[in-house]
């Protein structure tokens, strides 16, 4: 089933690379108008050009691709700056914003917890936990005022769950665990405004964060050992399909969930690592 998002507007943070870029592209391909946000404007401009050049065959039954606009947002910034950026974003397309995809995030360097700088901890939480909240606050207040039945999707990580604890990632894991809870509590609090909130805890996908790993020749073999599905995630369609569903009215009664998209990795346990092939 193709979800037609024509008439909807989605704001995607962290759309300049990796998962966010592909989510923004997929939303546009489903007819959604997209506000692509990040700090690296040239990358966002390149995405805008790509979306503007998307072909469309009216006879195919596929929605006409939406438009993509670029907006500079630093989600680790001050609340006033985030709110001002969202105010600009709200006015770009007619009808404000229907969908917020809180995707921007940083992993940070691999560090022993006892050597982790306070500034790194703070920066990680500002981006991965406080940023999504400030984005929800800025977008959600406007959704409430406009009586919109909005949808918030927060991209978190299995690093914030017990099934995938990454050594050297204390601040990252803790910030993503907080983001998981943030998303669930928002569903509880914002339901009265008809605003939904769901989180997607991602497993491993190729992006700027993981590029070095994905370049290793042995990396696919690791997936065969520890991912029951036998492969690492591919953003499109493994992540995009769920985000499209959560953006669409087909999921109007779906809120407060934490969806895990990781091929159920590590399910096989350590003994799988000993297997010879």
Ligand X SMILES: NC(=O)c1ccc[n+]([C@@H]2O[C@H](COP(=O)([O-])OP(=O)(O)OC[C@H]3O[C@@H](n4cnc5c(N)ncnc54)[C@H](OP(=O)(O)O)[C@@H]3O)[C@@H](O)[C@H]2O)c1
Q: Residues interacting with ligand X, by CB under 6 A? A: 13-20, 38-40, 73-76, 103-106, 127, 155, 157, 202, 204-205, 207-210
Instruction: Give the nearer residue to ligand X in terms of CB position, either 64 or 216.
Output: 216
Least distance from ligand X to the Cβ atom of residue 235, Å: 8
Least distance from ligand X to the Cβ atom of residue 61, Å: 31
In whole angstroms, give the CA distance from residue 96 to residue 119.
Answer: 35
Q: What is the CA radius of gyration of the chain?
A: 19
Tokens of 248: 């669409």
Tokens of 153: 């999707």
DSSP state of 129: I
- Closest of 16, 47, 10, 51 to residue 207, by C-alpha: 16
Instruction: Give the nearer residue to ligand X in terms of CB position, either 45 or 189.
Output: 45
Least distance from ligand X to the Cβ atom of residue 224, Å: 17
Tokens of 73: 């947002």
The one catalytic residue among 172, 193, 253, 266: 172
- Closest of 72, 76, 28, 71 to residue 52, by C-alpha: 28
In whole angstroms, give the CA distance from residue 36 to residue 126.
Answer: 20
Instruction: Give the nearer residue to ligand X in terms of CB position, either 37 or 63.
Output: 37
Instruction: Give the nearer residue to ligand X in terms of CB position, either 131 or 150.
Output: 131
Instruction: Give the nearer residue to ligand X in terms of CB position, either 11 or 73.
Output: 73
Tell me if the bond preceding 237 is cis, omega within 30° of 0.
yes
Least distance from ligand X to the Cβ atom of residue 131, Å: 6
Least distance from ligand X to the Cβ atom of residue 1, Å: 26
Bridge partners (DSSP) of residue 36 are: 12, 70
For residue 74, CA distances in Å to 15, 104, 132, 230 come to 12, 9, 11, 36
How does strand 68-72 pair with strand 258-261? unpaired
Instruction: Give the nearer residue to ligand X in terms of CB position, either 213 or 252.
Output: 213
Bridge partners (DSSP) of residue 102 are: 154
Q: Catalytic site residue 172?
A: yes
Whether residue 247 contacts residue 153, with contact meaning beta carbons closer than 8 Å, is answered with: yes
User: What are the residue numbers of the active site?
Assistant: 172
């Amino acid at each position: 089933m193709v979800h037609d998002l024509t008439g909807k507007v989605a704001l995607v943070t962290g759309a300049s690379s990796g998962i966010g870029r592909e989510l923004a592209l997929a939303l546009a391909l489903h007819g959604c108008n997209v506000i692509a946000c990040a700090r690296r404007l040239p990358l966002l401009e390149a995405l805008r050009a790509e979306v503007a050049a998307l072909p469309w065959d009216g006879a195919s039954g596929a929605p006409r691709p939406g438009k993509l606009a670029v907006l500079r947002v630093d989600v680790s910034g001050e609340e006033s700056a985030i709110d001002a950026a969202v105010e600009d974003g709200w006015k770009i397309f007619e009808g404000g914003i229907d969908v917020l995809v809180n995707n921007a995030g940083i992993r940070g360097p691999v560090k022993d917890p006892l050597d982790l700088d306070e500034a790194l901890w703070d920066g990680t939480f500002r981006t991965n936990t406080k940023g999504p909240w400030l984005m929800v606050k800025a977008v959600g207040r406007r959704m409430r005022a406009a009586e919109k039945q909005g949808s918030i999707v927060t991209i978190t990580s299995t690093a914030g769950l017990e099934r995938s604890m990454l050594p050297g990632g204390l601040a990252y894991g803790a910030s993503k665990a907080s983001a998981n809870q943030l998303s669930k509590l928002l569903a509880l609090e914002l339901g009265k405004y008809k605003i939904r909130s769901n989180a997607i805890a991602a497993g491993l996908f190729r992006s700027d964060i993981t590029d070095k790993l994905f370049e290793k020749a042995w990396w696919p073999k690791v997936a065969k050992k520890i991912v029951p599905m036998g492969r690492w995630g591919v953003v499109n369609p493994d992540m995009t399909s769920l985000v499209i569903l959560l953006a669409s009215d087909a999921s109007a009664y779906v809120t407060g969930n934490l969806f895990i998209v990781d091929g159920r990795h590590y399910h096989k346990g350590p003994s799988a690592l000993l297997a010879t092939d």
